Amino acid sequence: MDRNRIALAVTFVVTILSLFVGLINLVSNVSSSKLTKVDAGSGFGTDRLGAALIKIEGEIHSGRSSYDSAGAQTILEQLRSIEDDSNIVGILVEINSPGGSVGASQEIYKELMYLRKDKNKKVVVSMKDIAASGGYYIASAADKIFALGGTLTGSIGVIAIAPNIKGLLERYGVKVRTFKEGKYKDSLSLFRDNTPEEDAMIQKMLSDTYEEFIEDVAKGRNQTVKFVEALAEGRIYSGQDAFRNKLVDDIGGRREALAELSKLCNYDGTLPLFEEEVNPWDRFFQLMQAKSGGFFSGEKAFLQELKRSPVLVLYPHSMAW
């Protein structure tokens, strides 16, 4: 009984603290936004010439963005809302991401290429701390890429990881029965070793995806496949090294990237920058979820930390850049 009361008391205190921290962050985020101009209503909502600011922060995945990750569905909705807006002549994409899932990165890349080639929108990328793997894949769709000197980028490659706990289970006498219909349905299983045939099948899948990655980077950067191959194979680069190897176009941050975007759009001066309005309550509940998730679910917090690693592949059946 005492334990239940203690648990309830701890839960209550943590909830109140989370609310308090969430409100502080909410007020801070709303009040400190001085660099973007957001009109009332949904979307970018501008009636004068300008550029859209798109932020890709955290792990890249399908679905909607969360407090600390970039969801392809959210990013695509933002991009598609401006494709026929004649007042939005350019797009500044700020990337601070170690990569993520294959499909999500491809979708965002293809949408940026469509806006650049078919809708004549100028696209400039500004890399922050990290823009590697899927982050670089997306960046390669831009007309120009800026990186900071200390940005971590590159990592052009594909990886799939499958944990195997067969030995651990055998040690403790635990047996797992698998019922399946389809010879390869449990490939990459946690509970057994892969067969050589399965290894070859998975390697072929990775090779096909890797080739597509390189071809898309070459297309976006207006380089040859051979040029990109020489810089790929998962190598990572600092911003300065990426500049020397022509993976990025210049060294700089938002100021320099926006100046280049204004120049590409033939705009006299600096383009006004517009960012989609974020519902404060959505931001608050996302923050609450992020704050409470780590305390109440140790496993979830552990997996979230793993997601922030350069590998970005966690689960038996997942694949990511």
Q: Do the Cβ atoms of 311 and 133 come closer than 8 Å?
A: no
pLDDT score of 225 more than 90 = yes
Residue with tokens 């072929």: 204
Among 16-20, 52-56, 144-148, 295-299, where is mean pLDDT lowest?
Answer: 295-299
Q: Which residue in 185, 204, 246, 300 is the catalytic one?
A: 185
Give 53-91 pLDDT, tens digit per residue.
999 999 999 889 887 889 999 999 999 999 999 999 999
**Rg of the chain's alpha carbons, rounded to an integer?**
22
d(CA 75, CA 85): 16
User: Which residues, listed in sequence order, are joined to residue 127 by a DSSP beta bridge?
Assistant: 95
Among 26-40, 64-78, 143-157, 263-277, where is mean pLDDT lowest?
Answer: 26-40
pLDDT level of residue 315 (50, 70, 90 thresholds)? very low
Residue 281, exposed/middle/buried by CB under 10 A (0-12, 13-18, 19+)?
Answer: exposed
118 or 17, higher pLDDT:
118
Q: Which residue in 133, 140, 155, 262 is the catalytic one?
A: 133
Residue with tokens 């709303």: 30
pLDDT score of 245 more than 60 = yes
d(CA 38, CA 54): 13
Mean pLDDT of the chain: 81
Domain 50-280: give its CATH architecture: Alpha-Beta Complex (3.90)
Question: What is the predicted pLDDT for the residue at 301?
Answer: 44
d(CA 250, CA 126): 10
Kindly state the greatest CA–CA separation across the chain.
73
Residue 182 is given by DSSP the state: S
Among 189-193, 197-201, 239-243, where is mean pLDDT lowest?
Answer: 189-193
d(CA 131, CA 110): 17
pLDDT score of 238 more than 50 = yes
Residue 318, exposed/middle/buried by CB under 10 A (0-12, 13-18, 19+)?
Answer: middle
Give 204-220 pLDDT, tens digit per residue.
988 999 999 999 999 99
Question: What is the predicted pLDDT for the residue at 311?
Answer: 37
The amino acid sitting at 44 is F
Dihedral, 249, 261, 157, 103 alpha carbons, nearest 10 = -170
pLDDT score of 312 more than 70 = no
Residue 22's contacts (CB-CB under 8 Å, 6 or more residues apart) are 284, 287, 288, 291
Residue range 81-102: mean pLDDT, rounded? 93
Task: Please confirm, yes or no, whether 133 is among the known catalytic residues.
Answer: yes
CB atoms near residue 225 (< 10 Å)? 14
Task: Please confirm, yes or no, whether 81 is among the known catalytic residues.
Answer: no
pLDDT level of residue 2 (50, 70, 90 thresholds)? low
User: Which residues, listed in sequence order, are joined to residue 51 by a DSSP beta bridge?
Assistant: 90, 273
d(CA 8, CA 89): 54
pLDDT level of residue 116 (50, 70, 90 thresholds)? very high
* Burial annotation 113-144 (CB, 10 A radius, 16+ → b, else e): bebbeeeebbbbbbbbebbbbbbbbbbbbbbb
Q: Of 138, 135, 151, 73, give the one whose Cα is nearest residue 100.
A: 135
Give 253-305 pLDDT, tens digit per residue.
999 999 999 999 999 999 999 987 665 555 555 555 555 554 444 444 444 44
Residue range 129-136: mean pLDDT, rounded? 94
